[in-house]
Structure 1
């Protein structure tokens, strides 16, 4: 595969899907990942439009699909990148639809994960917010955090618990700013689901 990359065109826009994917999986070439995103994000979003009504949900699932690609290990083989993205996005859409159809378990308590989108926002602190607004969830948070993927947990802990900015988290962990925001977004969603499950087990 390295020989395959050796003779790739100079401009990423001229690379094949296979070359872009190989460069991302082998050496985490962000320019290649960005080219994949530019090449296919509108197609993924279009698919989401056929399954989901809310614009925010469509945008979330589009980001989730590419976040899944971002975390793809080098050992994972993909025959067709468009088909893989299509299948991943469709599965995420179905999962989101089923969750919404079941109704909110915590009656909107996911809102305590919402943040201002500004890059240098000063965090209020997740623990303080939960303790004040949702005290019954405070003791479940550490258990839920342990079940997150490592990168998601790291970003959640630094951004919310250590009250760092997006930029500070990026510099501390060495992740791209876009990656940090993606890990936070997916981590918040997963954390909300985990807290629901843990609360359900208690009742």
Structure 2
């Protein structure tokens, strides 16, 4: 469905059609209408193009899952609020967690402000930790961080929904971080 064919239909009418007919294509037209607005909002808060693109996808998923739970009088305002809250949540989470970054050379590094001793993880340790993840998490983490695939590309190639991809990546990253920390502690204990 090309969006311009539906320019004459108001946001409210598209939303009503989606809710009444349970046809997600109406919601798709509505979301497509505000993709640039969403991207702008996410850039304003996150100040990083890749993070903003990911945030737009997350907001889309959230809207698809939750739009039916609310009485929405002004879709554009509601969508803006959902996007803003998502970005603020991302920023809060960033401050709370010590990010583990998988880099091109397969080493994992801690954020320097959190860990002054900053330990690089050997590729062997990373490989061992990756192999300890379940198959879905391992595959999603490898594709996303090491092969730089988008959520959509992973979803298409692996047959997972976008929500599953997000879950596998987030849980995989968290589990990988915990495994590596555990392995590093054990190595220190064994050597010390």
Match of 2:36 in 1: 42
Residue 195 of structure 1 is matched in structure 2 by 175
Q: CA offsets per residue over residues 116-154 of structure 1, 9 Å max, x none?
A: xxxxxxxxxxxxxxx984544666649x98xxxxxxxxx
Tell me: CA distance 1:165–1:70, structure 2 relative to 1, closer, same or farther (3 Å): closer
Any gaps of 5 or more consecutive residues in structure 2?
107-123, 138-153, 186-192
* Cα gap change, 1:29 to 1:55, in 2 (>3 Å): same
C-alpha RMSD of the superposition: 4.1
Equivalent residue number for residue 88 of structure 1:
82
The alpha-carbon deviation at position 69 of structure 1 amounts to: 1.0
User: Which consecutive residues of structure 1, in runs of 5 or more, have no partner in the other structure?
Assistant: 1-10, 113-130, 146-163, 174-179
Seen in structure 2, the aligned counterparts of structure 1 residues 28 and 104 have a Cα distance that, compared at 3 Å, is farther
Q: Which residue matches 1:65?
A: 59
Q: What is the number of equivalent residue pairs in this alignment?
A: 149
Structure 2-normalised TM-score? 0.56
Which residue does 2:163 correspond to in 1? 183
Distance 1:195 1:28, change over 3 A: farther
Question: Does 1 or 2 have the higher relative contact order (CA < 8 Å, sep 6+)?
Answer: 1
- After superposition, the Cα gap between the structure-2 partners of 1:56 and 1:34, relative to the gap in structure 1 and judged at 3 Å, is same
* 3-state secondary structure, aligned to 1:71: helix
1:149-164 to 2 correspondence within 5 Å? none
Question: Structure 1 104/26 Cα, relative in aligned 2: closer, same or farther at 3 Å?
Answer: farther
